[in-house]
Structure 1
Amino acid sequence: MNQSYGLDLDKLPGELTAMLEALRSGSAGRANAANGAGGSGQPQDRLPQHIPASDSGVLQRASASPLPHIDWNQFMKLARHHRVYPQIHAEAGGGLIPSDVLQALAGDCRRNTWRMLALGGELDRVCRSLAERGVRSLALKGPALAQLLYGDVSLRTSKDLDILIPVADLELTERLLQKLGYAADDPIPRGLGDWKWKIHHVAFTHPGTGIQIEVHWRLNGDIGKEPSFETLWNARQPSALSSAVHMPGDDHLFMYLVTHGARHGWFRLRWLADIDRMVRRGQDWAALVPLLRRYHALDQAGQALVLAAALLHTPIPRALQPRLSAGRGPVLAARALGFIADAVVLTTDPGAGDVSKDYKRYLFELKTTGQKWRYALTRLYPSFRDAKAVPLPKSLYFLYFPLRPFVWLWRQVRQQA
């Protein structure tokens, strides 16, 4: 039985409801395996990576009576905004989606296939080059995640490549990427030293191919507690994409995906579709729950599972259902549901107006009480952004401490302007 956990789904636009119907795998029978595994605490049986459209019970039932009053142009816009058109096209069966819409989706899917193949080849090249120079790397999302969860890189979209490295290897990685033709989008702000924990990645773009690589030294920003690179590397898993590519183990990967999605307010359903796949393919919940608790990610996991259960009919293990009802997951899920329904792109850029203000409030609500206190204390420490706004010689960097309130105010005024 699917649960909404108090989420109000009645106000969702019809086009979004239709898109969710097209996304659902319809594997109601498979949910029993997930629920049963949750009770025993053992990993669930692995499910097929790709569920054919003919096996999609939801879509077969929907094919008898196509959804009425759907603006299919808006449906296409939503599918592109949420980056789920490959899954919709792969799962769409008789009559739910008109043939001309399916044809447009097919065109998007062809372009995505070429894009993902190019990203996969470049991920192999970069990871192999790093390994040859002794730099260990973990692929976080992109084609490696598509291959793992969907069994086919074309069944997921990706804007860029994300790799995680030890922070000590950042300079070496930067030099290597430059040799491979990449240029940093922005200089790494090394001046005050706070960049290591106030930001968690830097981006490099290849001017010839347009491919962007985000090099991470932390899974997430904002000083949250997280596993060390050594811990992640020791629990790594190989990628079927290439012998040179490794990924975090399933438990760490699940934790990363729920914290990443939560940090972005789940404004793209692509991230929630990944959670649905991870749950259906099987997780060792007995090992995962203590891991989530240790790194203060239980609320984010609860949020993700509440949203996935309500929107994608993801089968939630019985052992987790009481945790979802008792924690902050439903409240955080309700906040994110607004971002999903409004199809907004969340940003902290002051130029985004109310969207930026709502997103900043949401990010603060996402933190635990302890994280809120730590966040407040870090605001007292000078930022690399202060040095960018008011440049001083390195010998005078100590002045950024007493000047911090005034420089911060000056930065806010400039941003508003």
Structure 2
Amino acid sequence: MQNDFDLSKMPNEFRLLVEIMKMKNDKSIGAFKELLTNTDWEFFLQLCIHHRVYPLLYSKLKNVDERFIPKYVIESLYQDYKKNTFQMLCLSGEMENLSRLFYENQIRLLFLKGPVIAFDIYGEISLRTSKDLDILVQKTDLNSVEELLFSYGYEREELPDKVEKPKHHITYFHPQKKIEIEIHWRLNPPPLKEPSFNELWDRKRVSTLTSYQVFFLGEEDLFLFLIAHGSRHGWFRLRWLADIDQIIRNKVISSKNSLSLNTYQHQHLGGKAHLLIEHALILASVLMKTPINKEMYSLSTGKRSKKLVHLAINSIIEKGHLEIHEAKFKKNYLLSIKSNLQRTFTIIHYNFSLMSSRQKFIYLEKRLKPSSEDIKTLKLPNSLYFLYYPLHPFLWFWRKTRSL
């Protein structure tokens, strides 16, 4: 399967990052010495930050000989690792507090991401990053949840009145604790089908991370949620792919439950989920050398999935360059615009190719509507709001080029 994809054109620093992620021990680094020559270490560190894998990389590189990796690179990774560990400890405490608060007020909740997922997948919270807590509740409990959060010191993120609100979550922020949480009433944005809250609750697990009970998704539910989330964002952070790789290596998803997973996803998520699983498995196999057994291999041999993997790899690389390497083009404004737009359309092409016909229609309809970014770019009085519709594509183009 891996021979079907040419990875030689990947940036040297990206290939090095992926190889380190796959290392079993620090002695393995000697196997790819050629990638360590002529390495732009600043770019490498920026890639580690962009892909949110610096804790994982530090755990593999902390004892590596300085002949291979410069000391300042390890030190930089260590500082980020420490900051992340502190962040995850803070989130763990808040996760436990919220779990107790909701239980005392008879509100059921499931944690979707955060420290509980890091502990479940990697065995310790320090090896995965998380900027906030994602919590799933029943839609009928939303008003009670908001009142409870307000009383606990959280404030709701306010969006402009004219801007379309998210269709599956609301964001809250605690100004004193500097903690952000997302309250979900769906796992994913519509129209993707998904299990009901009660079905997810029946399959829930209890984490052993905290002294007070914390509930989170069942094994198969979590696996499919992470795949859907990574696919929706074009897998532009390797952290999401690392999660899938680790779950399979831990034999959480393997031959014993691949049949039930296949049946489950068709019942609840429809044919699109089969495509999501296919290309996620191929992508993990190609980049992370994730072991796929015969049962799971049958899920990952579709031609369309392989095409999507090609697009996904380009999207992953281009997204990183888009966020990191823009400064290199500042001296040539026209080249800057061209590079920025090429990368943007590469990412859009991948995301669009992944959609069903209905989702493509919804996506195009949404893209034609004004956004909150349009309002930030150009302030117009309410009486002239209708002008945002014809101005929308021009404002989008302006935002893609003005920062350069």
Scaled to the shorter chain, the TM-score interval is 0.7 to 0.9
| Pick aligned residue for 2:353 from 361, 365, 369 | 365
Are positions 1:287 and 2:260 aligned together? Answer: yes
Q: CA offsets, 1:178-200, max 9 Å, x none?
A: 111111112597x99x96xx611
| Pick aligned residue for 1:249 from 218, 225, 247 | 218
Are positions 1:59 and 2:32 aligned together? Answer: no
Give the superposition deviation at 1:239: 1.3
Q: CA offsets, 1:61-107, max 9 Å, x none?
A: 44x77721111111111001111011111122534433321121111
Match in the other structure for 1:215: 183
Q: CA offsets, 1:224-280, max 9 Å, x none?
A: 111111111110111122233111101010000000000001111011110111111
Contact 1:5 1:330 in 2 (8 A): no
Please give the alpha-carbon distance, in whole angstroms, between the structure 2 residues aligned to 1:377 and 1:70. Answer: 41
Look up the equivalent residue of 1:13 and give its one-letter code. Answer: P
Give the superposition deviation at 1:390: 10
Task: Give the root-mean-square deviation of aligned CA atoms.
Answer: 3.2
Greater RCO between the two (CA within 8 Å, min separation 6)?
1
Match in the other structure for 2:389: 411
Q: Secondary structure at the match of 1:323?
A: coil
Are positions 1:319 and 2:295 aligned together? Answer: yes
Pairs aligned (count) = 361
Q: TM-score, normalised by structure 1?
A: 0.77
Question: Closer, same or farther in 2 for the Cα pair 1:166/1:384, shift >3 Å?
Answer: farther
Contact 1:147 1:153 in 2 (8 A): yes
Please give the alpha-carbon distance, in whole angstroms, between the structure 2 residues aligned to 1:341 and 1:376. Answer: 23
Question: Closer, same or farther in 2 for the Cα pair 1:323/1:408, shift >3 Å?
Answer: farther
Give the superposition deviation at 1:301: 1.4
**What residue ranges of structure 1 are gaps of 5+ in the alignment?**
27-52, 393-405
Percent of paired sites with the same residue: 34
Look up the equivalent residue of 2:299 and give its one-letter code. Answer: R
Match in the other structure for 2:398: none
Contact 1:302 1:328 in 2 (8 A): no
Contact 2:370 2:389 in 1 (8 A): no
Please give the alpha-carbon distance, in whole angstroms, between the structure 1 residues aligned to 2:288 and 2:16. Answer: 12
Q: Secondary structure at the match of 2:213?
A: strand
Question: Closer, same or farther in 2 for the Cα pair 1:410/1:378, shift >3 Å?
Answer: closer
Please give the alpha-carbon distance, in whole angstroms, between the structure 2 residues aligned to 1:354 and 1:167. Answer: 40
Please give the alpha-carbon distance, in whole angstroms, between the structure 1 residues aligned to 2:273 and 2:131. Answer: 25
Contact 2:370 2:392 in 1 (8 A): no
Q: Secondary structure at the match of 1:214?
A: strand
Q: CA offsets, 1:340-387, max 9 Å, x none?
A: 2120579xxxx98665555444333212345446x38987xx9999xx
Are positions 1:308 and 2:271 aligned together? Answer: no
Please give the alpha-carbon distance, in whole angstroms, between the structure 1 residues aligned to 2:105 and 2:56. Answer: 37
Match in the other structure for 2:89: 117
1:19-38 alignment, distance < 5 Å: 19-26=17-24
Contact 2:226 2:244 in 1 (8 A): yes
Are positions 1:101 and 2:73 aligned together? Answer: yes
Contact 1:21 1:58 in 2 (8 A): no
Are positions 1:11 and 2:20 aligned together? Answer: no
Please give the alpha-carbon distance, in whole angstroms, between the structure 1 residues aligned to 2:34 and 2:9. Answer: 22
Q: Secondary structure at the match of 1:203?
A: strand
Contact 2:113 2:134 in 1 (8 A): yes
Match in the other structure for 2:100: 128
Please give the alpha-carbon distance, in whole angstroms, between the structure 2 residues aligned to 1:132 and 1:353. Answer: 51
